[in-house]
A = this chain, B = another copy of it.
Amino acid sequence: MKKRIIAFRSDCPISTALDIFGDKWSLLIIRDIMFKGLNTYGDLLKGGEGIATNILADRLVLLECAGIISKAKHPDSKAKVLYQLTPKGADLAPILVEIIAWSEKHHKVHPEAIAFANEIEKDKAAVLTQIYSRL
C-alpha cells in the first residue's frame, strides 16, 4: 500500500471530510462501488462519467490511505484487484443518500434516481439498512 499524506486544513469536521473526498471524483468512485457494484479498476474506469486513468489511480490510493476503501484478491483472477468499501467507507452511505435526495428535489436527474429518492423519502432508515446489508 502506497502512503500519501492528507493535509488537513483545520479540525472542523466538514473541512476534514472535504480534505478527504472534497473533489469532483472521489464520491463518484464510492458511488460506483456502493451502488453499482463496480469493484475492479477497469470497471471503475468505464464506470460512468469518464474519469481519466491517472486520476482514478490517484484517487484509489488516496481513498485507501484514508481508510475508505481496501484492496483485496479478486476471486476470479490474479490479474484483477478487488476494490471494496471498508466500514468507514460504508458509513458514507447516509451522506450519499442525502445528496441524492437533494439533487432529486432541485435538479432533473435520471428516472431511477427519482424512484430511489422516493424510497428514501418514505423510509430513510430502511433504505440505509438495505444498503448496509449489501456491503
Contacts and interface: CB of A to CB of B under 8 A. Distances in A.
Given A12-B113, A24-B22, A28-B18, A94 B100 contact: no
- Chain A contact residues, majority secondary structure: helix
Interface residues of A, number: 43
B27 A100 contact: no
Contacts of A91: 102, 105-106
A33 to B, nearest CB: 12
A75 interface: no
Contacts of A16: 103, 107, 109
Contacts of A92: 102
A6 to B, nearest CB: 10
Interface in A80-124: 88, 91-92, 94-110, 113, 117
Contacts of A107: 13, 16-17
A71 interface: no
B113 A13 contact: yes
Interface of A: 9-19, 22-24, 27-28, 31, 48-50, 67, 88, 91-92, 94-110, 113, 117
